[in-house]
Amino acid sequence: MITLYGIKNCDTVKKAIKWLEANDIAHQLYDFKTQPLTAELLTDFINQSDWSLLLNKRSTTFRNLPDEIKNNLTDEVIFASVLEQPTLLKRPLLPLNGELNLGFKVDQYQTLFANK
């Protein structure tokens, strides 16, 4: 069973779940609204990607950050901010085969699960 990380009311997460269900792929959602994002989990995400890809700068959460945070995006500042507000991450996050896949696109998932 795979784990998809995100929030259940996110439209992109909903599309990914719908695709997984339609393709009979066993999955579970790790919902950041109901389950905490731990430092260990966030570290795993960072080790599989980098901040420039992980951080959703178009999100309302990011736009609402104080300017002193947005203008000082060091690794430490981003890490603490994301732990406090996991919705700063792009969604969904799908760790699979040692890679962290960000977002949802039908062709991307078809390729990822071609040999399911």
CA atoms within 13 A on the CB side of 8: 7
Q: Is 6 one of the annotated active-site residues of the chain? A: no
Q: Which residues pair with 94 in a beta bridge?
A: 101
**DSSP assignment, residue 100?**
E
Query: Which position among 10, 13, 78, 89 bears the catalytic label?
Result: 10
In whole angstroms, give the CA distance from residue 97 to residue 23.
Answer: 18
CA dihedral 38, 34, 64, 99 (to 10 degrees): 50
CA distance 46 to 32: 16
> Which residues are known catalytic residues?
10
